[in-house]
């Protein structure tokens, strides 16, 4: 028999999920209906924007790995000096930096290229890119919800990690292994 608290607890995530889904769909629709401009901005030191975007994606991936390891330490899955007091700060700031570096990459992809589907890799990359921002919104909104089940944030964080890893693998890894 369920407790009276169960429905309230599960409905706490309804709005974050709906808003995140709306963000993902809106980005996909915008990207699909927007004709790419090709050049969005120039990055000093790089001969072309694709190379700059790929290197930025690699940096995001490094921060993603820091996110993964610091989360495992925070949740006691890895023992590291007894979970130092600065590990939470490292986790938060590596996540912030990963996001803020991912934003210009996403802007280039959506505004400069748009949602593409001419190959399986490109379609997967476009879908994962939109999905990343949607799931990221869900996770950030979930952080403000008190009383969530203990598994919610790790699952959302793992989902964000997996999706963004997929985005990087279908873009930067592909670029560096084919150029």
Its pTM stands at 0.83
pLDDT (tens digit per residue) in 91-144: 999 999 999 999 988 888 888 788 888 999 999 999 999 999 999 999 999 988
Its sign, for the CA torsion 81, 86, 92, 96, is negative
Instruction: Provide mean pLDDT across the span 75-99.
Output: 87
Instruction: Provide mean pLDDT across the span 155-178.
Output: 92
How many angstroms separate the CA atoms of 115 and 111, rounded? Answer: 9
- Contact 115/28 with Cβ under 8 angstroms? yes
Confidence of residue 3 (pLDDT cuts 50, 70, 90): low
Q: Which residue intervals of 34-173 are DSSP H helices?
A: 49-74, 87-107, 120-142, 152-168
Instruction: Provide mean pLDDT across the span 42-58.
Output: 77
> Judging by beta carbons within 10 Å of its beta carbon (0-12, 13-18, 19+), is residue 154 exposed, middle or buried?
middle
Least trusted range by pLDDT, from 52-56, 67-71, 78-82, 90-94: 78-82
Its sign, for the CA torsion 170, 63, 157, 143, is negative
Locus of tokens 């210009």: 104
Mean of the per-residue pLDDT values for the chain?
86
Percent of the chain surpassing pLDDT 70: 86
Query: Domain limits of the chain?
Result: 16-31+44-178
Question: 88 pLDDT exceeds 60?
Answer: yes
- List C-alpha distances in Å: 161 to 48, 84, 103, 104, 166: 27, 23, 15, 18, 9
Q: What 3-state DSSP class applies to 125?
A: helix
Confidence of residue 45 (pLDDT cuts 50, 70, 90): low
- Contact 58/168 with Cβ under 8 angstroms? yes
């Amino acid at each position: 028999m369920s407790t009276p608290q169960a429905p309230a607890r599960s409905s706490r995530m309804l709005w974050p999920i709906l808003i995140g889904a709306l963000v993902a769909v809106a980005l996909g629709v915008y990207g699909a209906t927007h004709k790419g401009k090709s050049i969005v901005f120039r990055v000093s030191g790089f001969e072309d924007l694709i190379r700059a975007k790929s290197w930025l994606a690699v940096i995001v991936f490094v921060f993603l790995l820091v996110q993964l390891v610091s989360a495992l330490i925070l949740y006691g899955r890895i023992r590291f000096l007894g979970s130092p007091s600065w590990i939470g700060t490292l986790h938060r700031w590596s996540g912030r930096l990963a996001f803020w570096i991912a934003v210009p990459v996403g802007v280039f992809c959506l505004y400069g290229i748009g949602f593409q589907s001419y190959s399986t890799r490109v379609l997967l990359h476009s879908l994962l890119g939109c999905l990343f921002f949607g799931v990221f919104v869900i996770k950030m909104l979930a952080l403000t919800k008190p009383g969530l089940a203990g598994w919610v944030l790790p699952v959302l964080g793992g989902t964000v990690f997996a999706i963004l890893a997929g985005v990087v693998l279908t873009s930067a890894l592909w670029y560096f292994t084919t150029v």
